[in-house]
Amino acid sequence: MKIEDLIKDLDPITIIEFKNYLLENLTELINHKNSNSKIISNNQTGNRCCNECGCILYKNGKTKTGIQKYICSGCKRTTSETTGTITYHSKLSFDVWKNIIDNLLDGFSIRRIAEENNISVPTSFQLRHKVLFALDNYIKNVQLENSAQSDEKYFKINLKGTKPKNMPRFSKKRTSKGNSTRGISHHQVCVISVIDENDNLFFKIGGLGRGTTKMLEDNIAPHLGNVKTIIADSVSAYQEFCKSHNIKLIAIPSQFHSDGIYNIAEINGVHSQLETWLSKFRGVSTRHLQQYLNWFAYIFMMKKRFELKKLKIESYKNIIIDNNYIKSNSIFQIPMPIDLNIAYAEYH
Protein backbone atom coordinates (compact mmCIF):
# COMPACT_ATOMS: atom_id res chain seq x y z
CA MET A 1 0.00 0.00 0.00
CA LYS A 2 1.30 3.46 -0.97
CA ILE A 3 1.67 6.11 1.73
CA GLU A 4 -0.85 8.34 -0.13
CA ASP A 5 -3.53 5.64 0.08
CA LEU A 6 -2.79 5.06 3.77
CA ILE A 7 -3.13 8.75 4.64
CA LYS A 8 -6.40 9.12 2.70
CA ASP A 9 -8.00 6.52 4.98
CA LEU A 10 -7.19 8.58 8.11
CA ASP A 11 -9.47 11.26 9.55
CA PRO A 12 -8.16 14.87 9.84
CA ILE A 13 -7.61 14.74 13.62
CA THR A 14 -5.53 11.54 13.35
CA ILE A 15 -3.44 13.11 10.57
CA ILE A 16 -2.73 16.19 12.73
CA GLU A 17 -1.76 13.99 15.71
CA PHE A 18 0.46 11.89 13.45
CA LYS A 19 2.14 15.05 12.07
CA ASN A 20 2.81 16.40 15.58
CA TYR A 21 4.26 13.07 16.69
CA LEU A 22 6.62 13.00 13.69
CA LEU A 23 7.80 16.56 14.30
CA GLU A 24 8.51 15.85 17.99
CA ASN A 25 10.31 12.55 17.42
CA LEU A 26 11.75 13.02 13.93
CA THR A 27 15.44 12.97 14.88
CA GLU A 28 15.09 9.91 17.12
CA LEU A 29 13.07 7.99 14.51
CA ILE A 30 15.41 8.52 11.55
CA ASN A 31 18.66 8.13 13.51
CA HIS A 32 17.90 4.62 14.70
CA LYS A 33 20.86 2.31 14.07
CA ASN A 34 18.93 0.00 11.74
CA SER A 35 17.29 2.77 9.68
CA ASN A 36 19.54 2.14 6.66
CA SER A 37 18.89 -1.61 6.73
CA LYS A 38 15.11 -1.03 6.82
CA ILE A 39 15.31 1.10 3.69
CA ILE A 40 17.41 -1.56 1.95
CA SER A 41 14.95 -4.28 2.98
CA ASN A 42 11.88 -2.32 1.81
CA ASN A 43 13.34 -1.58 -1.61
CA GLN A 44 14.74 -5.00 -2.50
CA THR A 45 12.49 -7.47 -4.30
CA GLY A 46 12.70 -11.23 -4.93
CA ASN A 47 14.88 -13.82 -3.23
CA ARG A 48 18.27 -12.79 -1.91
CA CYS A 49 21.16 -14.84 -3.30
CA CYS A 50 24.67 -15.48 -2.00
CA ASN A 51 27.39 -13.46 -3.74
CA GLU A 52 29.85 -16.35 -3.36
CA CYS A 53 27.92 -19.41 -4.61
CA GLY A 54 24.61 -18.01 -5.89
CA CYS A 55 22.39 -20.10 -3.57
CA ILE A 56 19.29 -18.67 -1.90
CA LEU A 57 19.73 -16.88 1.44
CA TYR A 58 17.37 -17.57 4.35
CA LYS A 59 16.66 -15.41 7.40
CA ASN A 60 18.87 -16.22 10.37
CA GLY A 61 17.95 -13.97 13.29
CA LYS A 62 18.93 -10.36 13.85
CA THR A 63 21.90 -8.39 15.15
CA LYS A 64 21.90 -6.47 18.45
CA THR A 65 20.73 -3.35 16.60
CA GLY A 66 17.87 -5.16 14.87
CA ILE A 67 19.48 -5.65 11.43
CA GLN A 68 18.26 -8.80 9.66
CA LYS A 69 20.86 -11.57 9.23
CA TYR A 70 20.88 -14.28 6.54
CA ILE A 71 22.53 -17.66 6.04
CA CYS A 72 23.37 -19.24 2.68
CA SER A 73 21.67 -22.56 1.95
CA GLY A 74 24.79 -23.72 0.07
CA CYS A 75 28.07 -22.50 1.56
CA LYS A 76 26.52 -21.58 4.96
CA ARG A 77 28.05 -18.10 4.92
CA THR A 78 26.25 -15.54 7.06
CA THR A 79 25.48 -12.03 5.87
CA SER A 80 23.32 -9.12 6.95
CA GLU A 81 20.89 -6.72 5.30
CA THR A 82 23.67 -4.19 4.67
CA THR A 83 26.38 -6.60 3.42
CA GLY A 84 27.85 -5.34 0.17
CA THR A 85 26.14 -1.95 0.36
CA ILE A 86 27.77 1.41 0.95
CA THR A 87 26.67 1.38 4.63
CA TYR A 88 28.39 -1.97 5.34
CA HIS A 89 30.61 -1.60 8.47
CA SER A 90 29.42 2.00 8.80
CA LYS A 91 28.38 3.35 12.20
CA LEU A 92 26.91 6.53 10.75
CA SER A 93 23.18 7.11 11.07
CA PHE A 94 20.67 7.53 8.27
CA ASP A 95 20.61 11.27 8.86
CA VAL A 96 24.37 11.64 8.37
CA TRP A 97 24.40 9.51 5.19
CA LYS A 98 21.46 11.48 3.82
CA ASN A 99 23.17 14.80 4.58
CA ILE A 100 26.43 13.66 2.96
CA ILE A 101 24.62 12.63 -0.24
CA ASP A 102 22.70 15.93 -0.22
CA ASN A 103 25.99 17.83 0.23
CA LEU A 104 27.56 15.99 -2.71
CA LEU A 105 24.60 16.82 -4.95
CA ASP A 106 25.03 20.45 -3.92
CA GLY A 107 28.75 20.28 -4.79
CA PHE A 108 30.13 20.95 -1.30
CA SER A 109 33.87 20.70 -0.70
CA ILE A 110 35.40 17.98 1.48
CA ARG A 111 36.06 20.44 4.32
CA ARG A 112 32.54 21.82 4.23
CA ILE A 113 31.03 18.31 4.27
CA ALA A 114 33.17 17.58 7.34
CA GLU A 115 31.94 20.73 9.08
CA GLU A 116 28.28 20.19 8.15
CA ASN A 117 28.25 16.61 9.50
CA ASN A 118 30.70 16.94 12.41
CA ILE A 119 33.15 14.42 10.96
CA SER A 120 36.89 14.60 10.25
CA VAL A 121 38.31 15.70 6.90
CA PRO A 122 39.84 12.23 6.13
CA THR A 123 36.45 10.62 6.87
CA SER A 124 34.76 13.18 4.62
CA PHE A 125 37.22 12.32 1.82
CA GLN A 126 36.58 8.59 2.19
CA LEU A 127 32.80 8.99 2.27
CA ARG A 128 32.83 11.22 -0.81
CA HIS A 129 34.76 8.61 -2.79
CA LYS A 130 32.58 5.77 -1.51
CA VAL A 131 29.54 7.61 -2.87
CA LEU A 132 31.33 8.35 -6.16
CA PHE A 133 32.26 4.66 -6.48
CA ALA A 134 28.57 3.80 -5.98
CA LEU A 135 27.57 6.12 -8.84
CA ASP A 136 29.69 4.03 -11.21
CA ASN A 137 27.02 1.29 -11.20
CA TYR A 138 24.39 3.82 -12.24
CA ILE A 139 26.49 5.16 -15.14
CA LYS A 140 27.29 1.63 -16.38
CA ASN A 141 23.57 1.06 -16.99
CA VAL A 142 23.06 4.19 -19.14
CA GLN A 143 21.76 3.22 -22.58
CA LEU A 144 21.61 5.62 -25.53
CA GLU A 145 18.54 5.99 -27.73
CA ASN A 146 17.74 7.30 -31.22
CA SER A 147 20.00 10.29 -32.01
CA ALA A 148 23.17 11.06 -30.04
CA GLN A 149 25.92 13.66 -30.12
CA SER A 150 29.50 12.66 -29.37
CA ASP A 151 32.79 14.49 -28.99
CA GLU A 152 36.11 14.22 -27.16
CA LYS A 153 37.20 16.34 -24.23
CA TYR A 154 40.89 16.56 -23.35
CA PHE A 155 42.41 17.03 -19.90
CA LYS A 156 46.00 17.55 -18.83
CA ILE A 157 47.47 14.76 -16.72
CA ASN A 158 47.11 15.64 -13.04
CA LEU A 159 49.27 13.75 -10.52
CA LYS A 160 47.72 15.43 -7.50
CA GLY A 161 48.19 13.31 -4.37
CA THR A 162 51.06 11.23 -5.80
CA LYS A 163 53.98 10.79 -3.42
CA PRO A 164 57.38 12.03 -4.71
CA LYS A 165 58.84 8.50 -4.75
CA ASN A 166 56.01 7.32 -7.02
CA MET A 167 56.21 10.20 -9.50
CA PRO A 168 56.83 9.05 -13.11
CA ARG A 169 58.71 12.29 -13.79
CA PHE A 170 60.51 15.01 -11.87
CA SER A 171 58.28 17.58 -10.18
CA LYS A 172 57.76 20.81 -12.10
CA LYS A 173 57.65 24.32 -10.74
CA ARG A 174 54.30 26.03 -11.09
CA THR A 175 54.16 28.23 -14.16
CA SER A 176 51.60 30.03 -16.27
CA LYS A 177 53.22 28.87 -19.53
CA GLY A 178 51.28 25.57 -19.55
CA ASN A 179 52.37 22.34 -21.24
CA SER A 180 55.53 22.33 -23.32
CA THR A 181 53.85 20.07 -25.90
CA ARG A 182 51.39 22.01 -28.03
CA GLY A 183 48.08 20.64 -29.33
CA ILE A 184 46.64 17.20 -28.63
CA SER A 185 49.43 14.85 -27.59
CA HIS A 186 50.22 11.83 -25.40
CA HIS A 187 50.39 14.30 -22.48
CA GLN A 188 46.61 14.72 -22.55
CA VAL A 189 43.84 12.41 -21.37
CA CYS A 190 41.11 11.76 -23.96
CA VAL A 191 37.59 11.58 -22.50
CA ILE A 192 34.84 10.22 -24.77
CA SER A 193 31.54 12.00 -24.11
CA VAL A 194 28.08 11.19 -25.49
CA ILE A 195 24.60 12.62 -24.92
CA ASP A 196 21.37 11.49 -26.61
CA GLU A 197 18.08 13.27 -27.28
CA ASN A 198 16.66 12.01 -23.95
CA ASP A 199 19.51 13.61 -21.97
CA ASN A 200 21.25 10.31 -21.23
CA LEU A 201 24.87 11.32 -20.69
CA PHE A 202 28.14 9.62 -19.86
CA PHE A 203 31.87 10.29 -19.99
CA LYS A 204 34.55 7.61 -20.30
CA ILE A 205 38.32 7.98 -20.16
CA GLY A 206 39.56 6.46 -23.42
CA GLY A 207 43.31 6.85 -23.12
CA LEU A 208 46.05 9.25 -24.19
CA GLY A 209 46.13 11.46 -27.25
CA ARG A 210 43.56 11.66 -30.04
CA GLY A 211 40.47 9.48 -29.97
CA THR A 212 40.70 6.20 -31.88
CA THR A 213 38.23 3.63 -33.14
CA LYS A 214 39.33 1.27 -30.35
CA MET A 215 38.55 3.94 -27.73
CA LEU A 216 35.06 4.33 -29.19
CA GLU A 217 34.56 0.57 -29.36
CA ASP A 218 35.62 0.05 -25.74
CA ASN A 219 33.64 2.95 -24.28
CA ILE A 220 30.59 3.72 -26.45
CA ALA A 221 29.68 0.24 -27.74
CA PRO A 222 28.51 -1.10 -24.31
CA HIS A 223 26.03 1.81 -24.09
CA LEU A 224 24.52 1.46 -27.56
CA GLY A 225 20.82 0.82 -27.05
CA ASN A 226 18.80 1.53 -30.17
CA VAL A 227 20.95 4.40 -31.45
CA LYS A 228 20.22 5.13 -35.09
CA THR A 229 22.26 8.31 -35.62
CA ILE A 230 25.46 9.74 -34.17
CA ILE A 231 26.40 13.37 -34.76
CA ALA A 232 30.12 13.94 -34.34
CA ASP A 233 33.08 15.70 -35.89
CA SER A 234 34.79 14.47 -39.04
CA VAL A 235 37.38 12.30 -37.28
CA SER A 236 37.95 9.03 -39.14
CA ALA A 237 37.51 7.01 -35.93
CA TYR A 238 33.76 7.74 -35.92
CA GLN A 239 33.42 6.72 -39.56
CA GLU A 240 34.88 3.28 -38.89
CA PHE A 241 32.95 2.86 -35.62
CA CYS A 242 29.54 3.80 -37.08
CA LYS A 243 30.12 1.64 -40.15
CA SER A 244 30.86 -1.43 -38.00
CA HIS A 245 27.68 -0.90 -35.96
CA ASN A 246 25.40 0.10 -38.87
CA ILE A 247 24.77 3.54 -37.40
CA LYS A 248 24.22 6.63 -39.53
CA LEU A 249 26.99 9.17 -38.99
CA ILE A 250 26.45 12.89 -39.50
CA ALA A 251 29.98 14.33 -39.60
CA ILE A 252 30.39 18.03 -38.80
CA PRO A 253 33.27 19.60 -40.78
CA SER A 254 36.46 20.38 -38.90
CA GLN A 255 36.57 23.76 -37.10
CA PHE A 256 32.75 24.03 -37.28
CA HIS A 257 29.96 23.30 -34.79
CA SER A 258 27.26 22.84 -37.45
CA ASP A 259 26.80 21.77 -41.06
CA GLY A 260 23.84 24.11 -41.52
CA ILE A 261 21.23 21.56 -40.34
CA TYR A 262 22.80 19.39 -37.66
CA ASN A 263 25.18 20.49 -34.93
CA ILE A 264 27.07 19.33 -31.84
CA ALA A 265 26.11 22.37 -29.81
CA GLU A 266 24.53 20.34 -27.01
CA ILE A 267 27.59 18.22 -26.24
CA ASN A 268 29.81 21.33 -26.51
CA GLY A 269 27.49 23.08 -24.04
CA VAL A 270 27.85 20.13 -21.66
CA HIS A 271 31.65 20.41 -21.93
CA SER A 272 31.41 24.09 -20.98
CA GLN A 273 29.28 23.24 -17.94
CA LEU A 274 31.73 20.49 -16.99
CA GLU A 275 34.71 22.88 -17.09
CA THR A 276 32.92 25.37 -14.84
CA TRP A 277 31.85 22.61 -12.43
CA LEU A 278 35.33 21.07 -12.18
CA SER A 279 37.04 24.43 -11.68
CA LYS A 280 35.78 24.71 -8.08
CA PHE A 281 37.80 21.60 -7.11
CA ARG A 282 41.08 23.36 -7.99
CA GLY A 283 42.36 20.41 -9.98
CA VAL A 284 41.17 16.78 -10.03
CA SER A 285 43.64 13.91 -9.93
CA THR A 286 43.67 11.82 -13.12
CA ARG A 287 43.42 8.75 -10.86
CA HIS A 288 39.98 9.90 -9.65
CA LEU A 289 38.88 11.81 -12.77
CA GLN A 290 36.44 9.10 -13.90
CA GLN A 291 34.59 9.24 -10.56
CA TYR A 292 34.19 13.02 -10.85
CA LEU A 293 32.96 12.69 -14.44
CA ASN A 294 30.37 10.15 -13.25
CA TRP A 295 29.38 12.56 -10.48
CA PHE A 296 28.73 15.38 -12.97
CA ALA A 297 26.86 13.10 -15.41
CA TYR A 298 24.66 11.75 -12.61
CA ILE A 299 23.67 15.22 -11.36
CA PHE A 300 23.04 16.37 -14.95
CA MET A 301 20.69 13.46 -15.72
CA MET A 302 18.87 13.50 -12.39
CA LYS A 303 18.15 17.23 -12.64
CA LYS A 304 16.54 16.62 -16.02
CA ARG A 305 14.27 13.95 -14.53
CA PHE A 306 13.34 15.08 -11.00
CA GLU A 307 12.66 18.18 -8.96
CA LEU A 308 15.32 19.00 -6.35
CA LYS A 309 13.50 17.42 -3.35
CA LYS A 310 12.63 14.27 -5.27
CA LEU A 311 16.15 14.15 -6.72
CA LYS A 312 17.75 13.80 -3.29
CA ILE A 313 15.37 11.03 -2.19
CA GLU A 314 15.93 9.09 -5.43
CA SER A 315 19.69 9.57 -5.12
CA TYR A 316 19.70 8.16 -1.60
CA LYS A 317 17.88 5.03 -2.79
CA ASN A 318 20.13 4.62 -5.85
CA ILE A 319 23.30 4.87 -3.77
CA ILE A 320 22.31 3.00 -0.60
CA ILE A 321 20.45 -0.02 -1.98
CA ASP A 322 22.83 -1.37 -4.65
CA ASN A 323 25.78 -3.64 -3.90
CA ASN A 324 28.57 -1.10 -4.27
CA TYR A 325 30.74 -1.47 -1.18
CA ILE A 326 34.37 -0.40 -1.35
CA LYS A 327 36.88 -0.55 1.50
CA SER A 328 38.43 2.73 2.61
CA ASN A 329 41.95 1.46 1.83
CA SER A 330 40.88 0.53 -1.70
CA ILE A 331 40.04 4.16 -2.47
CA PHE A 332 43.77 4.99 -2.37
CA GLN A 333 44.57 1.99 -4.59
CA ILE A 334 42.26 2.80 -7.51
CA PRO A 335 44.36 2.07 -10.61
CA MET A 336 45.48 4.90 -12.87
CA PRO A 337 43.19 4.92 -15.95
CA ILE A 338 46.11 5.72 -18.26
CA ASP A 339 49.58 4.28 -18.78
CA LEU A 340 52.04 6.76 -17.26
CA ASN A 341 54.98 4.94 -18.86
CA ILE A 342 53.62 5.94 -22.27
CA ALA A 343 52.71 9.43 -21.15
CA TYR A 344 56.19 10.16 -19.82
CA ALA A 345 58.31 7.90 -22.00
CA GLU A 346 60.68 10.77 -22.83
CA TYR A 347 61.55 11.11 -19.12
CA HIS A 348 62.95 7.59 -18.88
Which pLDDT value is given to residue 254? 76
Is it the case that residue 80 has pLDDT exceeding 90?
Answer: no
> Which residues have CB under 8 Å from 185's CB, separation 6+?
179, 209
Mean predicted lDDT score pLDDT of the chain: 80
- At residue 191, the pLDDT reads 92
Domain ranges of the chain: 142-169+182-311
Would you call 85 exposed, middle or buried from its count of C-beta atoms within 10 A (0-12, 13-18, 19+)?
A: buried
Residues 60, 187: Cα–Cα separation, whole Å: 55
Looking at residues 256-283, what average pLDDT do you find? 84
Highest mean pLDDT among 97-106, 153-162, 212-221: 212-221
The band of 237, judged by pLDDT with boundaries at 50, 70 and 90, is confident
What pLDDT, on the 0 to 100 scale, is given for residue 38?
A: 61
Looking at the DSSP assignment, which residues form a beta bridge with residue 72?
Answer: 57
- Among 42-46, 107-111, 153-157, 269-273, where is mean pLDDT lowest? 42-46
User: Between residues 231 and 97, which one has the greater pLDDT?
Assistant: 231
Residue type, 314: E
Task: Assess contact for 99 and 259: CB atoms under 8 A.
Answer: no
pLDDT at 201: 92
Rounded to an integer, the average pLDDT of 186-205 is 90
Overall size of the chain counted in residues: 348
Q: How confident is the model at residue 203 (pLDDT cuts 50, 70, 90)?
A: very high
pLDDT for 97 equals 80
Distance, in Å, from the CA atom of 309 to the CA atom of 271, rounded to the nearest integer, reads 26
Residue 328 has pLDDT above 70, yes or no: yes
Q: Which helix (H) or strand (E) holds 155?
A: strand 144-156
Q: In Å, how far are 29, 153, 204, 260, 340 from 265, measured between CA atoms? A: 48, 14, 19, 12, 33
pLDDT attached to residue 58: 79
Q: What is the CATH number of domain 142-169+182-311?
A: 3.30.420.10
pLDDT band at 45 (very low <50, low <70, confident <90, very high): low
Separation between Cα atoms, residue 230 and residue 178, nearest integer Å: 34
Residue 289 is given by DSSP the state H
Has residue 258 got a pLDDT over 60? yes
Q: Can you give the pLDDT at residue 176?
A: 47
pLDDT at 308 over 80: no
